[in-house]
Amino acid sequence: MQFTAQEISLLLNGTVEGDAFVKVDKLAKIEEGEAGSLTFLANPKYEQFLYTTNASVVIINQDLQLTAPVKGTLIRVENAYSAFTVLLEQYNTLKLNKKGIEEPCFIHPTAQVGADPYIGAFAYIGTNVKIGDHCKIYPNVNIGDNVTIGNNVTLFSGATIYFDCVIGNNVIIHSGAVIGSDGFGFAPNPDGTYTKIAQIGNVVIGDDVEVGANTAIDRATMGSTVIGKGVKIDNLVQIAHNVEVGEHTVIAGQAGISGSTKIGKNAVIGGQVGISGHINIANGTQLSAQSGINSSITEEGKVWGGTPYMSYKDYLRAHSKLRKLPELDRKVYELEKLIEELRKKGH
């Protein structure tokens, strides 16, 4: 996919300075731009690179005054950053614009697939599955029986959706993610063995959700594990049975949420955070990386850290002293001796 400076300028409603017919076929950062690449300058602190970059085309702001000669072609636009974002998005859409049905794939006769699909080879679509329009089902994806999927959904290679789950519109699920595996529920027996508790619920994922690679979201024991609209989940996250995550909450890599816990809206959960089961986390809560949350948080919009957790301010203060704990210990020992001395002196 090659484009001339002219073509890009037209798309961005810009003006060309220099060779309008130079061709580019990739996007780059300004400091890494090579011949054949397109880049942009938005942040003045990178202006130096404008005069040294080897990029063939650079998008710049309308009003930028050059202070030295540039090698490549310039495209002036009102807002270079926004213009580049538009290109990024378009480039990405082109990259991901797969169409058609590759063979062999498995589509059960009872399954319904909407308009304009991509279905990769070795994808599996089970009994009574309903898939909306403009969906992309990459190779080796597994969609279990009775799953319902909205419009504009992308499931990357090797993602698995267990039976009965429901996926909203505009959802992206990355490779290796597993949606709807059994919750971890076992009843202990007097002899030390466990009996499995059947997990007959499902997972319901709202619109505009993204789920990262190799993340696991378990089905509810009964009812639904619910991922709210707009939630963004990173890689290798564990979400246990009957958890509910409120709208527009963000969960970073390797965090884990135990069974039946309810996370509010607009929360931010850091990497490797662990959250106990059967608790509630208020809207807008922020949890710093690696913190361990073992009881409900009821105040909205606060920041917390540590294991067990405390306010982020307390956490920073306490842990700054932790390193000095041996010195503190020593001081107390010295004080004990001094007081003993004072007391011996006849007090």
**Residues known to be catalytic:** 241
How far is the C-alpha of 3 from the C-alpha of 225, rounded, in Å? 46
- HSE-CB for 144 with a 13 A CA cutoff: 15
Phi and psi for 150 in degrees, rounded to 5?
Answer: -75, -155
Q: Which residues pair with 304 in a beta bridge?
A: 287, 311
Strands ordered across the beta sheet of 232-233: 100-101, 118-119, 136-137, 154-155, 172-173, 210-211, 232-233, 250-251, 268-269, 286-287, 303-305, 310-311
Peptide bond into 109 cis (omega under 30): no
Among 230, 228, 234, 227, which Cα is nearest to 212's? 234
Residue among 73 and 162 whose Cβ is closer to a second copy: 162
Interface with a second copy, residue 286, by CB under 8 A: no
Residue among 20 and 176 whose Cβ is closer to a second copy: 176
Interface with a second copy, residue 35, by CB under 8 A: no
Interface with a second copy, residue 338, by CB under 8 A: yes
Interface pick for a second copy out of 46, 91, 279, 312 (rule CB under 8 A): 91
Kindly write out the interface string for residues 44-83 of this chain, putting x where it contacts a second copy by CB under 8 A and - elsewhere. ----------------------------------------
Interface with a second copy, residue 117, by CB under 8 A: no
Interface with a second copy, residue 331, by CB under 8 A: yes
Q: Provide the terminal-to-terminal Cα distance of the chain, rounded to the nearest Å.
A: 91
Interface with a second copy, residue 278, by CB under 8 A: no
Q: How far is the CB of 109 from a second copy (least distance, A)?
A: 12
Interface with a second copy, residue 95, by CB under 8 A: yes
Q: How far is the CB of 69 from a second copy (least distance, A)?
A: 26
Q: How far is the CB of 49 from a second copy (least distance, A)?
A: 14
